[in-house]
Amino acid sequence: MGNSLIEVSEVEVVRRRNLMASGMAVALAGGGAAAYRLSVNGGAGAAGTSGDSTGIPLQLRGNLPERYLALIALDSEGPRGGLRNLVNRVHASAEPGASVGFALGATFFGPRTSLPRQLTAMPHFAGDLLEPAMSHGDLLVHVVGNKAAAIRKTVERIRNTDSAHWTIRWHIDGSRPDNRVEDGRSLTRNPFHFTEGFGNPDTERESLDRALIPPDQNEPQWAVGGSYQVVRIIRFATDLWDKDSVGEQERIVGRQRDGRWLDGTPVDEQPNFAADPTGKLTPLDSHVRLAAPDRRNPPPVVRRSYSYDNGNGDKGIIFSCFQRDLAQGFEAVQKRLEGESMAKYLLTTGGGYFFVPPHGDGWLDALSYSG
């Protein structure tokens, strides 16, 4: 992928915008393995302050993500010497029942700082129509909790934080309908009425092994224990989707709505796509088959996505995944998904690439932004 841009013709832009005006499920299967050892002491919902002792970035704690989310992307308009002060103020803004975490965009780093080696601005992929006002950012604030009111109050307090050099670039809210754990996997229902999350690991330990940077990955020392995060704001053409029969929807996704496989394989087992080479049972251009053609060696990513609804037919998911390696994780899957049968129902309008720093304050010290 690199920095190449995949252009969308004016005709395609008009067609897609008309499609979205009438009213989009993308799911990346999780997978992979790593060898990073951590002390796992906390679960979902643990406080995200610098004083806790879980040793795990907030965004990856526990097998079950909190029910509500807000993402706030900030830009720096001056010297970044006030970052530590900003981080402390954001932590202090958290209402009881809400936790905050952070991730860094490529534009945050100056020419002399130790940049994570794969961190760049998220490129355009086939079919993307990224809105600049909803894409990228220097610092991404991640607010989560199980009470919507606590999230709203925290976001309001962050918005009112007085900072001379930081401004809000974009903000979006999300939730996880039917948020639950089954057989160790966190599941939710997306706006296309399908249960998703079956591709994620069934233990927190395996999730961390897939997502966290190990010491031998040739990353800056301060980045060990962090993770590359991809955020994609994907609008769903729900009105168009709902005109299809349930059977057609299931063939497009490659699973039944409740997660069962089309070839009869139980939901908690992996199907043998090789036994269906022509796609008679599971179509070759179905989402799950393209995303993870070898279910026994799934992509090395961990998904933690949320649904959003901005009104006026603008609804979809805030796709979010974490990995050690962008090329082997998200980008490999995204490349395989080009031409999937679901593409006409989806439009990615924003998001970005970010780096989630390790737990604690060491990253602030290492980047020498005191202030």
- How do the pLDDT tens digits run along the chain, 371 residues long? 333 323 344 444 444 444 444 433 333 333 333 333 333 333 333 333 333 435 899 999 988 999 999 999 999 886 666 888 899 999 999 999 999 999 999 999 877 668 999 999 999 999 999 999 999 999 999 999 999 999 999 999 999 987 778 999 999 999 999 999 998 899 999 999 999 999 899 888 999 999 999 999 999 999 999 999 999 999 999 999 999 999 999 999 999 999 999 999 998 888 999 999 999 999 999 999 999 998 888 899 999 999 999 999 999 999 999 999 999 999 999 999 999 999 999 999 999 999 999 999 999 988 865 34
Q: What is the helix, strand, coil percentage profile of the chain, to 5? A: 25, 20, 50
pLDDT at 33: 30
The Cα 364–Cα 82 span in angstroms is: 11
> Would residue 254 be called left, alpha or beta, if left means φ above 0 and alpha means ψ between -120 and 50 degrees?
left
Angle at the Cα of 44 from the Cα atoms of 187 and 218, rounded to 5 degrees: 95
pLDDT at 269: 87
pTM of the model: 0.86
DSSP state at residue 273: G
Side chain identity at residue 83, one-letter code: L
pLDDT at 112: 63
The Cα 340–Cα 26 span in angstroms is: 11
The Cα 126–Cα 7 span in angstroms is: 8
The Cα 318–Cα 304 span in angstroms is: 9
The Cα 199–Cα 187 span in angstroms is: 10
pLDDT at 297: 87
Q: Tokens in use for 292? A: 């993870």
pLDDT at 49: 35
The Cα 122–Cα 231 span in angstroms is: 9
**In this structure, are residues 111 and 142 in contact, taking their beta carbons and an 8 Å threshold?**
no
The Cα 60–Cα 320 span in angstroms is: 11
